[in-house]
Amino acid sequence: MEYEDRFRQVQRPKYDCLLFDLDDTLYPLSSGVASECLKNIGDYMVERLGIEERKISDLCNLLYKNYGTTMAGLRAIGYEFDYNDYHSFVHGRLPYGKLKPDPVLRHLLLSLPIRKVIFTNADEVHAAKVLRRLGLEDCFQGIICFETLNPLPASSSDQERKTEVFDIVGHFSHPTDGVELPKTPVLCKPSVDAMEHALRVAGIDPQRTMFFDDSVRNIQSGKHIGLHTILVGTSRRIKGADHALESIHNMKEAFPELWEEGEKSELVLHSGKIGLETSAIA
């Protein structure tokens, strides 16, 4: 009875989940990892898909702009490849040594008595490596990653099927009435459908969730589905962002109420105390 009385007295906090992008959000763009990733994508397109090197830059830009990720765009326009091979090639060669432990961020996250989840377009292996390098592997209660949104690999018949490649560069250079961009089978941010699906799978209420991401498009999609949005990496707030943070380290200065609300409640478990191992949300 005493426990029930205390439960009634605890006011429900405004937010019960913090959703974090991974790359260039939990560590700065200046690390150089993003530029190496872009180079690896280009090398994959040349070496694995046989695309001419001179076409890579324009093609990558169009695919990223129209599909959210180059990978999603490549699949949309007709290229068939193994997802694991792509991730192994693109992420397996990254200079993870450039990422160093971040004890300041670790302390901030562990002192937050709120559910914390990673939401990345990258694969689970990459996410785990990044979190380990940053010393944050036990700071989150789950990871929404590529495998979460795309659990089934293409069937062998799909991979063996020869598909005519859609000329997306020519599509924009010489538009033809009635010709639409092909759809991608890959679910990823900033697709609203993909983001809504991710929240359903993870059991996240967008109205009670703060979303941290460095991508303007992801932030705007997040706002569209009801998330409270925080653009990371700049102090300039754009349309769709409720707040903007120069660095993820500025969280406590910007949102002290998150810590204050947690301190008032004795019913919320501290992730550091229960020793959860971060795992992908299936």
138 and 257 both lie in a single domain: yes
Q: Are residues 274 and 173 in the same domain?
A: no
Query: Which domain-ending residue is among 185, 209, 237?
Result: 185
The whole domain housing 144 covers 1-29+100-150+187-282
Lowest mean pLDDT, pick from 46-55, 168-177, 258-267: 258-267
Q: How far is CA 222 from CA 21, 188, 254, in A?
A: 12, 12, 19
Span 74-104, pLDDT tens digits: 999 999 999 999 999 999 999 999 999 999 9
Q: What is the pLDDT of residues 173-214, one digit of tens each?
A: 988 888 899 999 999 999 999 999 999 999 999 999 999 999
User: And the tokens for 268?
Assistant: 């919320």
Out of 13-22, 138-147, 154-163, 227-236, which region has the weakest mean confidence (pLDDT)?
A: 154-163
- The count of domains in the chain is 2
Mean pLDDT of 161-167: 79
Do 199 and 66 share a structural domain?
no
With both helix axes pointing from N to C terminus, report the angle between 33-47 and 56-67 in degrees, rounded to the nearest 10.
110
Number of residues assigned to the chain: 282
Residues 9 and 38 in one domain: no
Q: Examine the domain organization and report whether 52 and 138 are in the same domain.
A: no
Split at pLDDT 50, 70, 90, the class of 162 is low
Please indicate, yes or no, whether residues 181 and 218 belong to a single structural domain of this protein: no
The predicted structure's pLDDT at residue 151: 81
**At 15, is the pLDDT very low, low, confident or very high (cuts 50, 70, 90)?**
very high
Phi-psi region of 27 (alpha: psi -120 to 50; beta: other; left: phi over 0): beta
State pTM to two decimals.
0.88
Q: Are 19 and 204 in contact (CB under 8 A)?
A: yes
Please tell me the predicted confidence (pLDDT) of residue 273. 36
* Same domain flag for 69 and 143: no
Residues 181 and 191 in one domain: no
- Co-location of 1 and 105 in the same domain: yes
Q: What is the pLDDT of residues 129-141, one digit of tens each?
A: 999 999 999 999 9
The CATH number given to whatever domain includes residue 10 is 3.40.50.1000
Statement: residue 160 has pLDDT above 60: no
Are residues 84 and 224 both part of a single domain?
no
| Residue 179 sits in the same domain as residue 213 | no
